[in-house]
């Protein structure tokens, strides 16, 4: 049996009840990590946790909203209580949307910003309370190709560009430590959110694509959620030990 790349590590993964987050949690558990999964909906979260446990993995779920500071603290407290430490943080939770700027009201703008950017900032801030004293840890932000090619909704794309900048800013702050911060930027990946987007079912529908569609190229095949999980595994394991402040784009060459 091959050695597990994350043996004896503990990882917190937000938005892990389905899609990319679930794949990341399953892969990390297979590689020996204890995983703490968060999501807003307890039924889907419990199913994801039970699936990992049924395969012999160590997992616990915490129903939490990344917009809540108190929920954020609860996630880390649970991780420490259940597994004794935290070594890896993956900020995966986010909201996809296609609202054009002229259809974006303040409430929607603040909600998406608070989730997609505020959430990672809260979790990084809390993680550093653990990582800095021991001078070790891994932070991975799940961004998007929209961070550099903003063809989706105005607020969504802005938050992903900001998340790329936050990734580099945090890496600079931690440059003289053994804590590394990077991002993975998925392209078209077959998840429920992506399928809803293709069907014009996300907030804003497909109206924005009338303007941005000619900037988008999908050669196929689309990525699988596990493709993004493998990228996170690279960054979280010793394979990525000297990678800091980078945004790793996984898009099958669709957005070069």
* Residues annotated as catalytic (active site), given as ranges: 156
Candidates 78, 35, 69; CA nearest to 55 is: 35
Q: Could you give the dihedral angle defined by the CA atoms of residues 44, 45, 50 and 52, in that order, rounded to the nearest 10 degrees? A: 110
Candidates 154, 231, 218; CA nearest to 187 is: 218
Q: DSSP H helical segments within 7-113, as ranges?
A: 19-30, 42-54, 69-83, 106-113
Phi/psi at 89 (nearest 5 deg)? -125, 125
Max distance between CA atoms of the chain, in angstroms, equals 56
Cβ neighbors of 32 (< 8 A, separation 6 or more) are: 4, 5, 6, 7, 8, 9
- How many Å apart are CA 147 and CA 57, to the nearest integer? 34
Q: Could you give the dihedral angle defined by the CA atoms of residues 235, 238, 242 and 248, in that order, rounded to the nearest 10 degrees? A: -20
């Amino acid at each position: 049996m091959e050695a597990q790349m994350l043996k004896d590590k503990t990882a917190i993964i937000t938005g892990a009840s389905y899609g990319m987050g679930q794949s990341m949690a399953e892969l990390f558990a297979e590689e020996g990590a204890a995983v703490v999964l968060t999501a807003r909906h307890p039924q889907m979260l419990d199913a994801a946790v039970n699936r990992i446990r049924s395969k012999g993995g160590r997992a616990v779920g915490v129903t939490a909203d990344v917009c809540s500071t108190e929920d954020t603290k609860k996630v880390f407290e649970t991780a420490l209580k259940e597994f004794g430490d935290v070594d890896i943080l993956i900020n995966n939770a986010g909201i996809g949307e296609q609202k054009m700027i002229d259809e974006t009201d303040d409430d929607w703008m603040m909600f998406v910003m608070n989730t997609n950017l505020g959430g990672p900032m809260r979790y990084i801030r809390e993680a550093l309370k653990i990582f800095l004293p021991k001078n070790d840890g891994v932070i991975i932000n799940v961004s998007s190709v929209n961070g550099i090619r903003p063809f989706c909704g105005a607020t969504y794309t802005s938050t992903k560009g900001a998340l790329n900048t936050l990734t580099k800013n945090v890496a600079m702050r931690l440059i003289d430590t053994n804590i590394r911060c990077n991002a993975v930027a998925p392209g078209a990946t077959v998840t429920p959110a992506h399928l809803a987007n293709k069907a014009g079912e996300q907030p804003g529908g497909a109206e924005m694509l009338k303007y941005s569609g000619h900037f988008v190229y999908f050669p196929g095949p689309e990525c699988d959620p596990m493709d993004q999980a493998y990228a996170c595994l690279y960054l979280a394991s010793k394979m990525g030990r000297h990678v800091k402040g980078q945004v790793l784009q996984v898009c099958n060459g669709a957005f070069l």
